[in-house]
Chains A and B, each alone.
Chain A
Amino acid sequence: QKEVEQNSGPLSVPEGAIASLNCTYSDRGSQSFFWYRQYSGKSPELIMFIYSNGDKEDGRFTAQLNKASQYVSLLIRDSQPSDSATYLCAVNEGTSYDKVIFGPGTSLSVIP
């Protein structure tokens, strides 16, 4: 069974700080990596995706991918209380490329 793991948290950071969220995956063939945000009682929504090694920046968010070490991370700069949510890492399977599996999520709380 392919696995995606995340620190369950909760992760608490003060407002304005950098929040760092980590995700590891077991399938070396995985090619596409997604970060979703889910507010309590709501549906997940896409933050960003990454498929090449290195960093990808979008506003206050930076995704980092290291395929050799099989980890992907999400950095949130200048964290705001509105960033308080659960962050879900999603990965496609390397053999069933169209199958997208999720990690358990990390709960983030940004303290004003």
Chain B
Amino acid sequence: NAGVTQTPKFRILKIGQSMTLQCTQDMNHNYMYWYRQDPGMGLKLIYYSVGAGITDKGEVPNGYNVSRSTTEDFPLRLELAAPSQTSVYFCASSYHGPRGNSPLHFGNGTRLTVT
């Protein structure tokens, strides 16, 4: 099994450009999450989803959008990129979610620079 796959691994954007960070998992997990991690900091939750068709905001949703049309895919859309969105983005999935004490399985991350 591939687990959680994120693409691209690296990306440089110019201010004002848009892009979609891809995340797909092959573990049939219902719960999926997007986090960002700034240098030397912890993870901040951007958006999460408890199943196909259901998404909800996390701690830092401004400037981002998500969709969950299938169980496997949870893309993160950046509109009008800003330097403050320079970060490492992690996608994660979980089978039962925290209520079922299911851990998060993380992808390898996407390192995004906005200049």
In the bound assembly, the distance between CA atoms of A100 and B104 in angstroms comes to: 9
A20 within 8 A of B: no
Cβ–Cβ contact B98 & A104, under 8 A: no
B74 within 8 A of A: no
- Chain B interface residue bracket vs A: 20 to 34
Contacts of A4 in B (CB 8 A): 42
Residues of chain A at the chain B interface (Cβ within 8 Å): 1, 4, 6, 31-32, 34, 36, 43-46, 49, 51, 88, 90, 92, 96-105
In the bound assembly, the distance between CA atoms of A84 and B60 in angstroms comes to: 29
Cβ–Cβ contact A51 & B101, under 8 A: yes
- Proximity string of chain B (72-115) to chain A, C-beta cutoff 8 Å, 1 when within and 0 when not: 00000000000000000010000001110101101111000000
- Proximity string of chain B (45-67) to chain A, C-beta cutoff 8 Å, 1 when within and 0 when not: 10010100000101100000000
* A98-B99 contact, Cβ under 8 Å, with A104-B42, A105-B42: yes
Contacts of B33 in A (CB 8 A): 100
Cβ–Cβ contact B98 & A98, under 8 A: yes
In the bound assembly, the distance between CA atoms of A90 and B50 in angstroms comes to: 18
Cβ-defined partner of A104 (8 Å) among B41, B59, B101, B103: B41
* A44-B106 contact, Cβ under 8 Å, with A51-B101, A99-B48, A105-B42: yes
In the bound assembly, the distance between CA atoms of A96 and B59 in angstroms comes to: 12
| Chain B CB within 10 A, most for which of A6, A31, A102 | A102
A to B CB contacts below 8 Å, 9 in the list: A1-B59, A6-B42, A31-B99, A43-B90, A44-B104, A45-B106, A98-B31, A98-B98, A102-B42
Cβ–Cβ contact B99 & A92, under 8 A: yes
Across the A-B interface, give the 7 residue pairs with the lowest CB-CB distance, nearest first. Answer: A92-B98, A43-B106, A46-B103, A104-B42, A32-B98, A102-B43, A102-B42
Contacts of A32 in B (CB 8 A): 98-99, 101
Contacts of A105 in B (CB 8 A): 41-42
Cβ–Cβ contact B43 & A98, under 8 A: no
